[in-house]
Structure 1
Amino acid sequence: MIVVQKQTHFSHAAYAASAAGLLVLLFLPLVVVVRQEYRILKELEETLRDREPPTMVEPTTIDDENAEDPPASSSSSCLGSCLKKMFTPPARGEDYTILQALVSIDMLLLFLATICGAGATLTAIDNMGQIGQSLGYPSNTINTFVSLISIWNYAGRVASGFASEVLLSRYRFPRPLMVTMVLLLSCVGHLLIAFGVPQSLYVASMLTGFCFGALWPLVYAIISEIFGLKYYSTLYNFGTAASPIGAYLLNVLVAGHLYDVQAAKQHGGTLAGGDKTCIGVDCFNKSFIIITGATMVGVLVSLVLVWRTRSFYKGDIYARFRNNADANEDRLIHTSSNDSVIIPKAEEESTGDDDTCQQGPKRRGGAHVHAA
């Protein structure tokens, strides 16, 4: 739509119609959310329609006089057990601890592939203004490139999340392989920028925005599927850290440095005058060839991750969630079918985190639940 507006004259009514259409497309995903929430609410009402909630009686806590505190572990044994636990992770799909996930080979492979992919596309996005200027595009067209990147960034996020979920649920198509495909597609945009193909920056900006947006839903989904949801918020932020690292390596150290070198050549070998403008294909040729090579490294790394997780994605990765839901439903039915049920109070767990080895004294108690 932006390209059409630049090429033809739009009246006020045409602008209003195009804006209305874009707003409809923008809020269309809300229809899916509302529909799904209504479906969940309807199923819940049907499940609990003929059931009355049990009346809970305050539990009475009885201290166990015979309970003794376990002997305090020494710091060396605590450290040894923590290190042993850190390097003995559970099966893929189970809840990893933070340290288990950070030292996992799968996480390192995913992190390295994200550095290469996100750093490369982010370099193209940050330098799109200078790229357009060096290739001789007018300023209003450069603004169009920025708009195209933003729009296709959103399209990539929606498309990759939906497509990967459909392919995974129907055909067991592994999500890491989707990352590989996104990185390969981004290489096309990098090469178009590197060789300065005439009028190709439109396509390059769309591919760059799409691939940058498509990469992140895949990365976050892989983290949740392989390493579990218990510490997902922390691991989510760890995955996000790949973006600034990749941007610094490829944007500052590669693209920025080579651009300044080429600009200095065009201004008599120095930039002392303050003019750092570079004109021509050579301004970003070498840098984006290097960036394309770095992206191909990310492709190879992601293929290693595909090979390591192939058996995991061939199975039913959502089976444990369905089993937990069925167990909770059976427990609810069993509770509602009895007049009186004794629910034992769970033992008090240790207040420490994964790095703490000591436990407090245990308590025991119970509570009677009578049907209303």
Structure 2
Amino acid sequence: MQALIKADFWLIFFSLLLGSGSGLTVIDNLGQMSQSLGYDNTHIFVSMISIWNFLGRVGGGYFSEIIVRDYAYPRPVAMAIAQIVMAVGHVFFAFGWPGAMYIGTLLIGLGYGAHWAIVPAAASELFGLKKFGALYNFLTLANPASSLVFSGLIASSIYDREAERQAHGNNYHIHNGGSFFSGMLDLNEPSKCESSICYFLTSMILSGFCVVAVVLSMILVHRTRIVYANLYGKSRS
């Protein structure tokens, strides 16, 4: 497991953690995100992002193969492109523009899926196939780790804060103009957040994470140009 002491491995790991982790956060919270923007049929977006996830894996693998086979350029550049796409998708979610859920799920799904086609191939090229299974399983730790932090701490806490703020505003109007019993019923219901403000800050943070992931991926590209030139440069000639 000598790869664990190499900077290239940790660049891949943290780039994957920030990039795919931001996409997984959207998948985890897609139901609440669509409800906050006024959509009722949340299952449609879950199905859509699953389809785009699949197409992202197919397209990401195909696109990265073109990069390395035809141009002998480092495969992680494809991951950087996927992360740029995801950063734009998070911005759509943040501002809640018309059709943002459709465009956002498209961009996030494609980018998230592309990660899991590009990273295993890049890891095998940079660190070899010996103990590849152990390396790949270690890389997959990026998903639960990012889900714990991004979704469990950042997204949920920001959503709860905004929902509580809106609930306090509603209770103020109820106490001033509504009935006592309707106020008691509303207090017993779980707080819900409405409008794009619910996930604005979360989405902007996730977009920032994707930008950082792009920087890490491009550092990896710079560090591995010679490796890919040796691997694929001769096959071009």
- Alignment TM class, shorter chain as reference: 0.7 to 0.9
Match of 2:40, as an amino acid? P
Shift of 1:107: 0.5
Q: Is the 8 Å Cα contact of residues 152 and 206 (structure 1) preserved in structure 2? A: yes
Equivalent residue number for residue 191 of structure 2:
276
Equivalent residue number for residue 332 of structure 1:
none
Q: Secondary structure at the match of 2:205?
A: helix
Equivalent residue number for residue 255 of structure 1:
155
Q: Is the 8 Å Cα contact of residues 17 and 142 (structure 2) preserved in structure 1? A: yes
Q: Is the 8 Å Cα contact of residues 123 and 251 (structure 1) preserved in structure 2? A: yes
Q: How does 1:5-154 map to 2 (within 5 A)?
A: 98=1, 100-139=2-41, 142-154=42-54
Equivalent residue number for residue 200 of structure 1:
100
Listed one character per residue, the Cα deviations across residues 68-87 of structure 1 (whole Å, up to 9, x for unaligned) are: xxxxxxxxxxxxxxxxxxxx
Equivalent residue number for residue 213 of structure 1:
113
Listed one character per residue, the Cα deviations across residues 310-369 of structure 1 (whole Å, up to 9, x for unaligned) are: 1111222597xxxxxxxxxxxxxxxxxxxxxxxxxxxxxxxxxxxxxxxxxxxxxxxxxx
165, 168, 171: which is aligned to 2:71? 171
Equivalent residue number for residue 86 of structure 1:
none
Shift of 1:206: 1.2
Q: Secondary structure at the match of 1:267?
A: helix
Shift of 1:143: 1.8
Bigger mean CA offset, 245-254 vs 231-240: 245-254
Listed one character per residue, the Cα deviations across residues 97-150 of structure 1 (whole Å, up to 9, x for unaligned) are: x1x1111100111101001001100011111111110001122xx222111111
Listed one character per residue, the Cα deviations across residues 230-262 of structure 1 (whole Å, up to 9, x for unaligned) are: 100100101111111111121111111100000
Identity between Structure 1 and Structure 2 (%) = 39
Match of 1:110, as an amino acid? I
Q: 5+ unaligned residues in a row in structure 1: which ranges?
A: 1-97, 320-372
Listed one character per residue, the Cα deviations across residues 126-185 of structure 1 (whole Å, up to 9, x for unaligned) are: 11111110001122xx22211111111111111111221122111112101111000000
Listed one character per residue, the Cα deviations across residues 181-210 of structure 1 (whole Å, up to 9, x for unaligned) are: 000000111000001011221111111111
Shift of 1:287: 0.9
Distance 2:205 2:89 in 1: 13
Distance 1:190 1:276 in 2: 24
Q: Is the 8 Å Cα contact of residues 157 and 215 (structure 1) preserved in structure 2? A: yes
Aligned length: 219
Q: Is the 8 Å Cα contact of residues 110 and 302 (structure 1) preserved in structure 2? A: yes
**Structure 1 or 2: more strand by fraction:** 1
Distance 1:138 1:245 in 2: 30
Distance 2:202 2:231 in 1: 43
Q: Is the 8 Å Cα contact of residues 118 and 247 (structure 1) preserved in structure 2? A: no
Runs of 4+ more than 4 Å apart: 269-272
Equivalent residue number for residue 80 of structure 1:
none
Distance 2:197 2:100 in 1: 16
Q: Secondary structure at the match of 2:231?
A: coil
Match of 1:307, as an amino acid? H
Whether 2:223 is the aligned partner of 1:308: answer yes
TM-score scaled to structure 1, two decimals?
0.57
Distance 2:206 2:100 in 1: 18
Seen in structure 2, the aligned counterparts of structure 1 residues 304 and 272 have a Cα distance that, compared at 3 Å, is farther
Greater Rg by CA:
1
Q: Is the 8 Å Cα contact of residues 155 and 202 (structure 2) preserved in structure 1? A: yes
